[in-house]
Amino acid sequence: MKILGALVVLMLMHSFYDLVDAQGSWQILNRNAGIACMHAAATHYNTLIMLDRTNTGPSQIRLAGGKCRNQPLERILKNDCWAHSVMMNPVSGAVRPLTVQTDTWCSSGQFFDNGMMVQTGGDFEGLRKIRTLKPCPPEGNCDWMELAEPLAKGRWYASNQLLQTGTRQIIVGGRNEPTYEFYPKRRAGEGAYYLSVLDGCCDNLYPFVFLLPNKLLFIFANKDSVSLNWETGKVVRKFPTIPGNPRNYPSAGSAVMLPVSYTTGFTRGEIMVCGGAANGASRTNNVGAACSNNCGRIVATAAAGGWAMENMPIRRCMGDMINMPNGEVLIINGAMNGFQGWGKASNAVLNPVNYNPNAAAGRRFAMWAKTGIPRVYHSTASLLADGRVIVAGSNTHQFYTYTGAFPTELRVEAFSPPYLGANYNAYRPAITGAPIALKYNQVFTMAFTVGVRRGAVTVYQNSAPFTTHSFSQGQRSLHLKTSVPVRAGAGWSMQVTAAPNNSLAPPAWYIFFCVQNGIPSKGKWIKQNN
């Protein structure tokens, strides 16, 4: 009886899948995707856009149909018949070559409301370029287009965030560029705007940028952060400096905004920043310096308050943080020593770590199954609608190098978290009915089936970010209000209330997950309209 009582208590305290010793599993999807994936984004057609730089020389996949890229400004191959971008089918693992004309090295991106990827900046001839790709089904032939319109400033190591219209992005920072600008411009001839938090000598590239529920932007660089009214250009609040080490490139921490929930009236925007290189490591070339093991959380929508710190079970830099389908956070990839750069990392972190933000302090982290493939500098991680995480890339060399420590990595893996284990099939919901598009505050019916009804059922809405250099640009997750499920024929149905406004969910395609007691369904792509 004592054992039974303890089990009941555990079921009340934790998600159902925590009750067994399940750590997830790994599967290699493609042993040679042709390119080392530096940038990645999952599309609403359930394909994966993958990008590398163009100035690596030959990749291992040729452009289709004998096509070649003729780029007189290219520094390696001016006549280049090799692809540096591919579209991947994450079910079959098949890849299709895509064509980029200018260098996308350390560039940025974000989807528009119609699903079109806008990809900005890069190096050398790509520094001020804007590229677009309108995704298509796996059997389609969509490809990159380069726009004639340039960025106002060169953007190398910048970050993008979709704004409330769904048709405009803010592009923040870049090497030697402590400014931000908009695409498309808000008026003819509009330029860039200085922002002091982006200024300084180092560790401030690929700034962490989030659109908060209060309509402001949270912008974090190095150790400092501000909230910015992007419409007026006014800095509304300067936050306390985060304790410890620097967090942005090349120190390579990572960040997420924790799920914004109806339980707090969708008003609480809490940012979590984890890991990064040791103080001064990149400036002194201290490649053996131990990476940080701490994380900080701050409520960026509060009028006051500072960082609440806690420690991860393992130190990490160059990790990726992902909002998962059940409101938790996955920390994956990276190294325990060094910083971002060619040959600057050692002691790869092979174990993903799960973080439950709602658990009691000291019980939030869980170590999951390790991979056999190191993923350090220039690696990516992307959440798919089926609940898996696609992990790709890792190239610590200037060119493709297949020998020595951390050789250029062309393999693509899928990590299946414990909730996808066979033990949970009976408890995993399956969405059988939901709209294809929503308006704000719309109350809609979600129908689902499930083998065994046990525990609370709720809905999470996750964005499709652009992932590069340890930061998923545009990533967000919403915890939506639901009614108590009722029987509906052979299944169940419940009423779900959509997000109330476009500061919470800018118009775009989102993945909606039905979650029973921590076990998510396969996601359904739904278009959020204004």
Residues 6+ apart with CB under 8 A from 175: 154, 156, 157, 205
In the prediction, which pLDDT does 3 show?
36
Q: Summarize pLDDT for 465-499 with one digit per residue, the tens.
A: 999 999 999 999 999 999 999 999 999 999 999 99
Element (H, E) at 7: helix 2-13
Residue-wise DSSP of 367-384: E-PPPSS---TTEEEEE-
Mean pLDDT, all residues of the chain: 94
Q: Are 249 and 340 in contact (CB under 8 A)?
A: yes
In the prediction, which pLDDT does 123 show?
96
Identity of residue 228: L
Strand 524-528 to strand 437-438: parallel, antiparallel, or no bridges (unpaired)? parallel
Q: How confident is the model at residue 200 (pLDDT cuts 50, 70, 90)?
A: confident
Q: Summarize pLDDT for 113-136 with one digit per residue, the tens.
A: 999 999 999 999 999 999 999 999
pLDDT mean over 20-36: 88
Q: What φ, ψ does residue 47 adopt, rounded to 5°?
A: -115, 170
pLDDT mean over 347-358: 97
Give the chain's end-to-end CA distance (angstroms, integer).
Answer: 54
Residues 6+ apart with CB under 8 A from 390: 29, 40, 42, 48, 88, 90, 380, 381, 382, 384, 412, 413, 414, 415
Q: Summarize pLDDT for 58-104 with one digit per residue, the tens.
A: 999 999 999 999 999 888 899 999 999 999 999 999 999 999 999 99
Please give the C-alpha separations between residue 23 and each of 333, 371, 426, in angstroms, as whole numbers.
16, 11, 18
Please give the C-alpha separations between residue 302 and each of 111, 260, 360, 425, in angstroms, as whole numbers.
29, 14, 22, 40
Q: How confident is the model at residue 4 (pLDDT cuts 50, 70, 90)?
A: very low
DSSP bridge partners of 28: 413
pLDDT mean over 501-526: 98
DSSP bridge partners of 209: 219
Q: How confident is the model at residue 404 (pLDDT cuts 50, 70, 90)?
A: confident
In the prediction, which pLDDT does 73 show?
87
18-420 placed in CATH 2.130.10.80: yes
Q: What φ, ψ does residue 50 adopt, rounded to 5°?
A: -125, 140
In the prediction, which pLDDT does 189 show?
95
In the prediction, which pLDDT does 476 show?
98
Please give the C-alpha separations between residue 29 and each of 93, 369, 402, in angstroms, as whole numbers.
5, 17, 19
- 336-357 in b/e form (b: 16+ CB < 10 A) is bbbbbbeebbbbbbbbbbbbbe
- Residues, the chain, total? 530
Q: Are 17 and 10 in contact (CB under 8 A)?
A: no
Q: Are 300 and 271 in contact (CB under 8 A)?
A: yes
Rg of the chain's alpha carbons, rounded to an integer? 22
Q: Summarize pLDDT for 216-239 with one digit per residue, the tens.
A: 999 999 999 999 999 999 999 999
In the prediction, which pLDDT does 451 show?
97
In the prediction, which pLDDT does 75 show?
83
Q: What φ, ψ does residue 138 adopt, rounded to 5°?
A: -55, -30
418: DSSP letter: G
Please give the C-alpha separations between residue 299 and each of 18, 243, 304, 313, 468, in angstroms, as whole numbers.
27, 15, 9, 23, 25
Does 257 score more than 90 pLDDT?
A: yes
Count H helices and E strands in the chain, helices first: 2, 45
Indicate the CATH number for domain 426-528: 2.60.40.10
Q: Give ranges for CATH 2.60.40.10 in the chain.
A: 426-528
In the prediction, which pLDDT does 2 show?
36
Q: Give ranges for CATH 2.130.10.80 in the chain.
A: 18-420
Identity of residue 57: G
Does 27 score more than 50 pLDDT?
A: yes
